[in-house]
Structure 1
């Protein structure tokens, strides 16, 4: 048995747990990190509607007749939300990628937890907008670090045949975080004194609990075997990989093959490329046949696409559709809460399909369904407005509400997970955490952009904005087909061969990959798809 290093090494769960039990523990702990991310994202929607918060921050006042917050300074309100992404998560993910590649996945997650606890405490105690601006930026930094490193830790420990399912389960917990945030705020909104700051401070402070739990638990979890190989701790890597995959009989043979693949690809990367910094990655300096710059562009734009296919728009305009459908302000709270629950259960579809049909086909069917929902919801929203005062208004509005629910469910089953999974899969070992950080950069840009621009766009175009999202969904099908090679059922080591082609086109990457596999049969030996998986290039079930 290899001696794991570190002050708590003898208490590491890898000594006690084996194969599926160890993998499940990693999945749950990574899911706790992603749960915090979801909770934090779902938090501000409710906080912005509370009386004390709006008046204390100075962006709105309470309308006694309507019983709602009236926003007087939308730029201030939006700015407090937006700084979480720009510069918060944007800077945090770059820091997290650097820390993760240099000091390891476990230590980086622990640091992010400690940082986020302090930032959450600052948010919960904020007394004015300047205070909250600073706290939101710091909280964004902590979230950015976690988002940069957690998916990498998860994909590097999971088996290549179930890697997508592994991460999809974590994003079910992500939306559970959104649901918990929503219903907790729904509960505090019923507090007997609607002028109390408790209504918003308690939900903000609540995020400290999962962070403390994660900070304690993470020290007892196994480090990524791939990072251990990267830094030369090979015997530790072999021990942990053996505990994850099994080290007896056929399992042991497969584990040794995977271990040797990691060693081979590490050596290949060291011999053929000399990249380490973010600028080198972005411009492809020293990447050789690894073509890292292409991968950086792919993950940035996939995350930006994720925001502009309509989820941000539905978040903003969905309540307006509920309003014009005749749903009262009181009932809208229930409708939105039920929509979030539907969203969470829809993510389970991805758990059972993503490793069967692949990343590309998951994005294809998602874009088709989402595009249809966008165009239909936009048309029905206009029809509902035109039917104002008529008996048909409620029926048409109800149909529009249904397509809001349907869009959210399809997004949860498809585009929610893949843009987070893909960046953690496709980068070389030597810069994998930094590579995933580039994906979070794209997410930060896409979110910040949407938060700042969409309120103005909706004000000018109203429901016609949904048609823009429908068109972006159609465009995304072409973009994914042409530029994004499949990663399903391929080991992380094989992805260097997938991106070895000098061409940017996905079909050329597939052709070159097949050629390299034939010419170098000993380079990567551990890959084999599980039964029933759709062929990654031709989208047909393999023949027995």
Structure 2
């Protein structure tokens, strides 16, 4: 258990010495350092340097690519390296967006229908199922690829796992562009999915591990700006390709262009730094230190020491770090991992339940149902993607400033209201009459507003969250479980959406309204706030919380006299600095009794004050 002045709360107690008190002369203390922090440092210094690193994986040499200190790009300023990593990760995530959106207009191409055998009649149940199935089978591949890459990334490094995924994606892209029947296309989609799943599993973990804890949200939000840029790029390439009289090339060309992205990713990743946390895990401390120097503009010793402490503890518990043990735990440590797996998987499924897959993949159908022509519906869907892309800029501002919980809760509330209004308007937009066009325009406006709200709130968080809650030795496997949840959610939604539009029409939007409301209690009650906390600090919550309810867990942590106990709220930078110095925190540990005292100062203002306080304590304001 970590107590009031412990600087690393992820280590379990090893002896009674941790709770003893030793008086140090004042001249032996560093600036801003307490006697307890010096005691803690001296007690663990030798243990941290005495780590039994595991031997290299015997199959690692058979996987091509990997990190090389000599080959790594070098910049004079760490901020330049930081931007280069951000740009490259953005390109990788852009490919994910391109690959996800490339089928949106391929599904509208008549030559494609003829080759796949789904053209006569187009609206039959069999053909509707086949259309959705070709799209959905891709997510079976992403699930498999994520599980494989999650294990590979922990065994032979993040970079080699990305190269592995790129090889599969390259093969899948080539097969998709040359497909001549539905069986061929389905196999190609699965193979491409394996590659994309591997890349999507590892890239967010890699980028989070090379960035500082104060900017992880903004870091990933910028990447997902490029992700939606990829979605928009795929759409507009297909839109203009469709103007070509040669309808064969109109759908094969966009599929073939995936190859450019894949080559850039598979080759380029080898010139970037490996995760310093993974390097430390396999005993390559000198290289880990070199990477931290290259990517940090501040002192790295505190972060390096924190990483080493966590590495030591997690190596000692490595027997419980397999996929099977994470699902079916036999001890307390494994039960903690299972809870983290549930949070990661369910958050990704909720991201799909709030409706974005319905609105983006089948946007053309949605606009047509609102009374627009096919050509105008295509244009509206394309401009909606551009609006979607720029909305992600807001996530750069909100994620780190307001926290993950607040961003998701208010995002779900706003999307629910928008979908409710859109569903009601869509009912009248489908009725012929003088006001049909006005109702259709209102539906289009609500659709634009919905996708913009999603981009500003829910797009990034489900990908960021798993990189923050899993311990080092299973962080890549945690990313894999996250992609599993994304694959399940996307696969189900894309499979059933054509039937929903066919069966209940405008009721689809009202169904999504209900699902947004359904997701709210889960976010409020189950998800701890990760903003402002280092990756190593997250173990404090899962080791000491003892409850699925984040409010109850915070209470339990407070009872253990751990300073950082209010896990419903963001940890501010000044509190993080106090924590690193061994001091008592300030705003993050404000006691409820202090809040009540302030409220009594003016009984007239108490109801509003109490509401604001409770909302603030819940991380919602």
TM-score higher than 0.5: yes
Measured at CA, do residues 243 and 122 of structure 1 come closer, stay the same or move farther in structure 2, by a change above 3 Å? same
1:75 corresponds to: 129
**Contact 1:289–1:502 (Cα < 8 Å) also in 2:** no
**2:258 counterpart of 1:207:** yes
Question: How far, CA to CA, are the matches of 2:91 and 2:277 in structure 1?
Answer: 22
Q: Select the structure of larger CA radius of gyration.
A: 2
Match of 2:99 in 1: 40
Which residue does 2:347 correspond to in 1? 302
| 1:321/1:285 CA distance change after superposition, 3 Å | same
Q: What are the superposed Cα offsets for residues 212-240 of structure 1, whole Å, 9 maximum, x if unpaired?
A: 11122111100000011111111211121
CA distance in 1, matches of 2:259, 2:293: 35
- Normalising by structure 2, we get a TM-score of 0.78
Go from structure 1 to structure 2 and tell me whether the alpha carbon gap of 1:459 and 1:6 turns closer, same or farther (over 3 Å shift). Answer: closer
Question: Distance in 2 between the 1:192 and 1:6 partners?
Answer: 45
Q: 1:414 to 1:536 in 2, by over 3 A?
A: farther
Aligned match of 1:190 in 239, 243, 266?
243
1:11 is aligned, of 71, 94, 110, to 71
Shift of the 308–328 alpha-carbon distance from structure 1 to 2, 3 Å rule, reads same
DSSP 3-state at the match of 1:487 = coil
Per-residue Cα deviation, 1:49-103 (whole angstroms, up to 9, x for no partner)? 11221101111159xxxxxx777712222221111002x1110100010011111
Give the corresponding residue for 2:608. none
> Which residue of structure 1 lines up, in the alignment, with residue 292 of structure 2?
241
Match of 2:32 in 1: none
Question: Residue 126 in 1 paired to residue 171 in 2?
Answer: no
String of CA shifts for 1:224-273, please: whole Å, max 9, x gaps: 00011111111211121122113xxxx22xx1001101111122233456
2:425, 2:443 within 8 Å by CA — same for their partners in 1? yes
- Tell me by how many angstroms 1:513 deviates: 4.5
Counterpart residue number, 1:285:
330
2:224 to 167, 171, 178: 171
- Of stretches 532-541 and 235-244 in structure 1, the one that deviates more from structure 2 is 532-541
Using the TM superposition, give the Cα deviation of residue 531 of structure 1 relative to its aligned residue in structure 2, in angstroms. Answer: 6.5
- Please list the CA deviations of residues 334-356 of structure 1 after superposition, one character each: whole Å capped at 9, or x if unmatched: 11110000000001000111100
Look up the match of 1:231.
282
Aligned residue among 479, 482, 487 for 1:439: 482
Structure 2: segments with no counterpart, 5+ residues: 1-64, 577-585, 590-612
Matched residue count: 515
* Distance in 2 (alpha carbons) for counterparts of 1:209 and 1:153: 22
C-alpha separation between the residues in 1 aligned to 2:341 and 2:91?
A: 27
Q: Which residue is 1:471 aligned to?
A: 514
1:496 maps to: 539
The answer as to whether partners of 2:349 and 2:489 remain within 8 angstroms in 1 is: yes
Residue pair 2:173, 2:256 contacting (<8 A) in 1 also: yes
**Matched-pair contact (CA < 8 Å) for 1:273–1:286:** no
Answering whether residue 452 of structure 2 is matched by residue 399 of structure 1, we say no
SS at match of 2:319: coil
Range that drifts further, 121-130 or 368-377: 121-130
1:21-40 aligned within 5 A = 21-40=80-99
Q: Alignment partner of 2:354: what SS?
A: helix
1:408 Cα offset (Å): 0.5
**2-structure distance, mates of 1:220, 1:133:** 34
Deviation at 1:519, TM superposition (A): 7.9
Once residues 236 and 9 of structure 1 are traced to their aligned partners in structure 2, the CA distance between those partners, rounded to angstroms, is 7
Aligned mate of 1:410, from 427, 450, 453: 453
> How big is each residue's C-alpha offset from its partner over 1:135-165, in whole Å with a ceiling of 9 and x where there is no partner?
1100000011011100000110111001010
| Equivalent in 198, 205, 210 of residue 157 of structure 1 | 210
**1:421 aligned residue (449, 464, 479):** 464
C-alpha distance in structure 1 between counterparts of 2:184 and 2:325, whole Å: 36
Does the 8 Å contact 1:161/1:529 carry over to 2?
Answer: no
Query: Contact 2:278/2:472 (CA < 8 Å) preserved in 1?
Result: yes
Alpha-carbon RMSD: 2.6
Rounded to whole Å, the distance in 1 between the matches of 2:359 and 2:232 is 16
2:137 aligned with 1:92? no
Aligned partner (choices 268, 290, 295) of residue 313 of structure 2 = 268
**C-alpha contact 2:320 2:334 (8 A) present in aligned 1:** no
* Cross-structure match for 2:364: 319
CA deviations over 1:189-226 (Å, ceiling 9, x no partner): 011333xx211111101011011111221111000000
Counterparts of 2:152 and 2:379 in 1: how far apart (Å)? 42
**2:156 counterpart of 1:103:** yes
| Other-structure match for 1:135 | 188
CA distance in 1 between counterparts of 2:398 and 2:281 reads 32
Report how far residue 399 of structure 1 moved.
1.0
